[in-house]
Chains A and B, each alone.
Chain A
Amino acid sequence: MEYFQFLVIILFSPLVNGVIKKLKANMQGRVGPGVLQPYYDLLRLLKKDMVVSTVTSWIFKATPYIVFTATATAAVIVPVLSTASPYGMMGDVIALIYLFALARFFMALGGLDAGTSFGGEGSSREMTVAILVEPIMMLALFTAAISAGSTNIVRIATVHPAVFSPSHLLALTAFMVAIVAETGRVPVDNPDTHLELTMIHEGMILEYSGRYLALMEWAHYMKQMILFTLAIDIFFPLGIAQSGNPAILAAAVVVYAAKVTGMALLMALVESTRAKIRFFQLPSLLGGSFVLAFLSLVTHIMMGK
């Protein structure tokens, strides 16, 4: 059972995105599409013919598969419902971050491959945001890893550190800002825009269509859910099953669903109440969050919790 917990992420990640969209629509006084809309979109894209630019090379075609498989492998590493996950032997939290980096590397190359300005612009901005986010994420995760004495996610989730210690709250805040940036949400990027000059992620995948686009979108949904799950595992793991016992597992499913919904609600709230900020104001937002992550580390070392 626990061997297949990654399927939760692969199968339900479009749903999570649908829920965020629905919540966002409701907050903004709209009805919005149903929560299953992302599934319909993916299936529709799979059935479409593709248009590929003649300028592109094999990188363009390999990218959707590499992005999808790297993200799916990250989904295997992160424990979802139970800490009895055997895949902690395959990689730790650092490996997870670097699998995302692998996906991003190829996505940025895919953006450059068609030889258009939009693709290049998207790639350039995506890599810039990554430069600002990566140290925050690593430092916040380091604080958690130091307090658990391990970078193994299963181990961090099992150790149950004092959840509301000051250092954890600081690290959590920093990590949340990093998640907003990594998933391409307002105020960093706007997932709904197709206005060329403001888009980051959408600009990069502008040339993709059909099943390639489906894979890219799906991978993006998965990445979002993995990051939610990672935050849950590391900062409030309470309720995650410690064994494969069916009753405990059933309880874990409920707790996990509640936590992910909470994260979705938070994202919808942030997106509805914030405006997208100018690209060059990002350093002050993310720089502030880096300071939080640093403070959380210092707090942990000075106070020991």
Chain B
Amino acid sequence: METEQLLLFGIVLFVVGALSALVPVKTFRIVPYLLSLIGSLFFLSLGLILTAITPVSYQALSASSIFEFSLRGDALAGFFIITISLVASAVSVYSIGFTRNLVHAGLSGFFTNILILSLYAVVLSANIFTFLISWETMAIASYFLVTLNRSDEASRAGLFYAVMTHIGTAFIIALFLLLYRSTNRMDFEGMKAGIAAMPTMVKTVIFIFALIGFGTKAGIVPLHTWIPRAYPVAPPHIAALMSSLLVKMGIYGFLRISFDVLGQGPEWWGITVISVGAVSALLGILYGLIENDLKLFLAYSSVENVGIILLGIGASMMFKSNGLAALSSLALTAALFHVLNHALFKGVLFLGAGSIIHSTGSGNMEHMGGLLKRMPMTGLFFLAGALSICALPPFNGFASEWLTYQALLLGYQSPSVTAKIVSPLGGAALALTGAIAAAGFVKAFGVTFLGAPRTAGSRNAEEVPFPLVVGMALLAIPCLMFGLFPGPALSFLMPAVYALTGASTTLEHHGMLGVSQTSAALSPIGMLATMTVMMIAVMLFIRMKGGKRKTVYGDSWDCGIPGLTPRMQYTAKAFTKPLRIIYKRIYLPSRDINVQYILKPFFVKSIRYGSEITPFFERYVYEPATRFIQAVAGKVKLLQSGSLNLYLGYILITLILLLIFAS
């Protein structure tokens, strides 16, 4: 009863919030976000309860046995509800201060509320019908939010997003139909019960469809192409919602179908997922590294993190099919923990990027510099997010990646040789990804916040208003807390892990993570304590040996030629040049040097230099596909001549054909 009321209150708050956004009164503008804040707190308590109790079903609006709108809350849904609520509440607070910058503040508030509500609906859906309705609502709301500022770029990005997401949805519908055909049930619980009788071949097809369909939403390579288009044009708080939560719905759907409903599959499923995860993580961050637009860089980094999550999920599936339930549970814990962590730190990074754009008027790193002095709080929280996403101790990203390493390392306990080799290689890919991400975030933070300001926009930047700071803090503080004390975070997701893998491993003892299978332990709080003790010791030592010395402030080293200007600083582009050269087989750079001479070859008039990275998947996969579809569409157009007689002829032919085949 209690959960039902929480659910009802939550839904009502979001619906009222959405409607209140349409009231065209200026002072009313913060109301939708206040309501979504309160609504997400209601859902937060619902999520906390759901992880602790047996699953509950909520029946509503039953028109027929097929078109039945019903919700079901279980531990997995509970965990995702907690994740959504943590991010949604922070984004709501942030939006309170941010909304006055928006072009269509009313519509934006409306769709933001609808989007958050649809996220909750997706994870609570009990049957196909509810799921698809929520899934589409989510897609449509986010489409409108992406295209809200109505620039050409936004419309193109929006169209691309809409097409990609519907290709994904097509696969999802197909897999639902397959499930329905063989189990004759519309609800996930019923399907799960009837799955045993399903032939392996059909299961495999469903698995592949799930990987493609949900993978499109999650942004796995090569289905990731909508992400770097949609996020940069979306307003930053929407980009935060999309990157932190919307892509996680892909992960949720994949878990629901391939873990919960399908149960156990052959080993190669897991190995496939590990490989897809490794490729997504590596290519995602490699493409991100060279981008100098903050939001674009963060968008690619989402692709990377989805890859890391899939490494954990894949390892978990692989262990499950080999009957190693305890290891499966360890790997899934790592994956779900990273789902939560990525939602938090990517949220704070996107909100931070939003604050920077708000203050400087630009999203390009090359236009910035020295922002840490001008925006100290934004800088601090962005740094916390960057440290977390680079998996540096003692932040939360480290805890979940550490668990992922442990899980991948334990792959050697699988019986098959492929698994034994693939999973440590996944670990090496994770190490490489981590190092590239660190380079990327050194660049993003260093060029943006450190050094001297490169433009007037960054020179005159000021700290953002209070609600924006609070919004970022609400995400940055849990990043540190869940890193130091992983216990509470793990308690959100352990019930879900137990429900999916049938085993539970206690990983946390007295604030310490411990994996008994590798006798490895990790105590982030111990690390922090050691660092603090060392800090005090070395400060005392310096004071003792060095005494008090004065600090002289002067110019940076300029090789003896005075007149260092901000333009002489290392740029973001220069920072990644070595990697563009080293990974040229991946980037396929093309350069174009055009020299004009006054007198060849001695007197040069002008040099134009251009270089471009070949977007591999766009050029060799998407462009040919688009051309093919356009060509086919051109041919099909011949049918539509405009002549009435011809159309009547079509009807006649169809009728005859029907008569032939139907009889």
A59-B450 in contact given A94-B402, A123-B442, A134-B435 (Cβ < 8 Å): yes
Q: A146 touching B530 by the CB < 8 A rule?
A: no
**Range of interface residues on chain A?**
35 or more
Contacts of B519 in A (CB 8 A): 149-150, 152, 155
14 contacts between A and B (CB under 8 A): A49-B552, A52-B552, A53-B555, A57-B372, A72-B534, A94-B405, A98-B398, A105-B390, A105-B392, A105-B438, A109-B442, A109-B445, A112-B447, A207-B556
Beyond contacts A51-B554, A113-B446, A142-B424: 18 other A-B pairs, Cβ-Cβ < 8 A, are A47-B549, A50-B551, A52-B554, A54-B553, A55-B556, A57-B372, A70-B531, A72-B530, A73-B530, A90-B530, A91-B521, A94-B520, A95-B402, A115-B370, A117-B568, A151-B409, A215-B538, A215-B542
Contacts of B387 in A (CB 8 A): 102, 105
Q: How many residues of B contact A (CB 8 A)?
A: 88
Provide the B276-314 mask, 1 if CB < 8 A to any CB of A, else 0: 000000000000000000000000000000000000000
Min CB gap B186→A, angstroms: 45
A116-B450 in contact given A128-B578, A128-B579 (Cβ < 8 Å): no
Contacts of A111 in B (CB 8 A): 446
Min CB gap A303→B, angstroms: 12
Q: Is residue B160 contacting chain A, with contact meaning CB distance below 8 A?
A: no
A115-B450 in contact given A280-B578, A283-B582 (Cβ < 8 Å): yes
Contacts of B526 in A (CB 8 A): 89-91
Q: Is residue A37 contacting chain B, with contact meaning CB distance below 8 A?
A: no
Q: B546 touching A47 by the CB < 8 A rule?
A: yes
Contacts of A263 in B (CB 8 A): none
Min CB gap B423→A, angstroms: 10
Provide the A84-128 mask, 1 if CB < 8 A to any CB of B, else 0: 000011111011011101101100110111111111110111011
Q: Is residue B540 contacting chain A, with contact meaning CB distance below 8 A?
A: no
Contacts of A89 in B (CB 8 A): 512, 514, 521, 523, 526
B 301-330 contacts with A by CB, 8 A: none
For B436, B556, B578, the residue with the greatest tally of chain A CB atoms inside 10 Å of its CB is B556
- Complex Cα spacing A104 to B441, Å: 12
Q: B432 touching A92 by the CB < 8 A rule?
A: no
Select the stretch in A235-243, A248-256, A266-274, A294-302 that faces chain B. Answer: A294-302
Q: Is residue A231 contacting chain B, with contact meaning CB distance below 8 A?
A: no
Provide the B455-481 mask, 1 if CB < 8 A to any CB of A, else 0: 000000000000000000000000000
B 521-543 contacts with A by CB, 8 A: 521-523, 526-527, 530-532, 534-535, 538-539, 542
- Complex Cα spacing A196 to B558, Å: 12
Q: B554 touching A146 by the CB < 8 A rule?
A: no
Q: Is residue B69 contacting chain A, with contact meaning CB distance below 8 A?
A: no
A211-B549 in contact given A95-B402, A124-B578 (Cβ < 8 Å): yes
B 369-400 contacts with A by CB, 8 A: 369-370, 372-373, 379, 387, 390-393, 398
- Of A49, A68, A116, A302, which is within 8 A of B534 by CB? A68
Q: Is residue A145 contacting chain B, with contact meaning CB distance below 8 A?
A: yes
Q: B412 touching A109 by the CB < 8 A rule?
A: no
Q: A123 touching B570 by the CB < 8 A rule?
A: yes
Q: Is residue A131 contacting chain B, with contact meaning CB distance below 8 A?
A: yes
Q: A43 touching B545 by the CB < 8 A rule?
A: yes
Q: Is residue A276 contacting chain B, with contact meaning CB distance below 8 A?
A: no
- Complex Cα spacing A206 to B571, Å: 18
Q: A91 touching B523 by the CB < 8 A rule?
A: yes
Q: Is residue B61 contacting chain A, with contact meaning CB distance below 8 A?
A: no
Min CB gap A235→B, angstroms: 18
Q: B574 touching A302 by the CB < 8 A rule?
A: no
- Of B373, B390, B512, B518, which is within 8 A of A101 by CB? B390
Q: B417 touching A302 by the CB < 8 A rule?
A: yes
- Of A48, A58, A70, A127, which is within 8 A of B439 by CB? A127
7 nearest interchain CB pairs? A120-B570, A112-B446, A115-B451, A46-B546, A138-B431, A127-B439, A134-B435
Q: B518 touching A152 by the CB < 8 A rule?
A: yes
Q: Is residue A139 contacting chain B, with contact meaning CB distance below 8 A?
A: yes
Q: A120 touching B534 by the CB < 8 A rule?
A: no
The SS class assigned to the B binding surface is helix
Contacts of B246 in A (CB 8 A): none
Q: Residue on A with the closest CB to B390?
A: A105
- Complex Cα spacing A127 to B577, Å: 12
Q: Is residue B427 contacting chain A, with contact meaning CB distance below 8 A?
A: yes
Min CB gap A213→B, angstroms: 12
- Complex Cα spacing A134 to B282, Å: 14
Q: A124 touching B531 by the CB < 8 A rule?
A: no
Min CB gap B44→A, angstroms: 31
Q: Is residue A173 contacting chain B, with contact meaning CB distance below 8 A?
A: no
Q: Is residue B449 contacting chain A, with contact meaning CB distance below 8 A?
A: yes
Q: A124 touching B576 by the CB < 8 A rule?
A: yes
- Complex Cα spacing A152 to B514, Å: 11
Q: Is residue B123 contacting chain A, with contact meaning CB distance below 8 A?
A: no
Min CB gap B536→A, angstroms: 10
Contacts of A97 in B (CB 8 A): 431
Q: Is residue B434 contacting chain A, with contact meaning CB distance below 8 A?
A: yes
Q: Is residue B654 contacting chain A, with contact meaning CB distance below 8 A?
A: no
For A57, A137, A196, the residue with the greatest tally of chain B CB atoms inside 10 Å of its CB is A57
Min CB gap A187→B, angstroms: 17
- Of B373, B521, B530, B558, which is within 8 A of A116 by CB? B558
Contacts of B425 in A (CB 8 A): 139, 294, 297
Q: Is residue B452 contacting chain A, with contact meaning CB distance below 8 A?
A: yes
- Complex Cα spacing A54 to B552, Å: 9
For A105, A146, A279, the residue with the greatest tally of chain B CB atoms inside 10 Å of its CB is A105
Provide the A195-226 mask, 1 if CB < 8 A to any CB of B, else 0: 01000000000110011001100000000000
- Complex Cα spacing A302 to B574, Å: 44
Min CB gap A141→B, angstroms: 9
Q: Is residue B639 contacting chain A, with contact meaning CB distance below 8 A?
A: no
Q: A65 touching B538 by the CB < 8 A rule?
A: yes
- Complex Cα spacing A123 to B516, Å: 38
- Of A54, A105, A146, A206, which is within 8 A of B442 by CB? A105
- Complex Cα spacing A88 to B553, Å: 43
Q: A117 touching B570 by the CB < 8 A rule?
A: yes
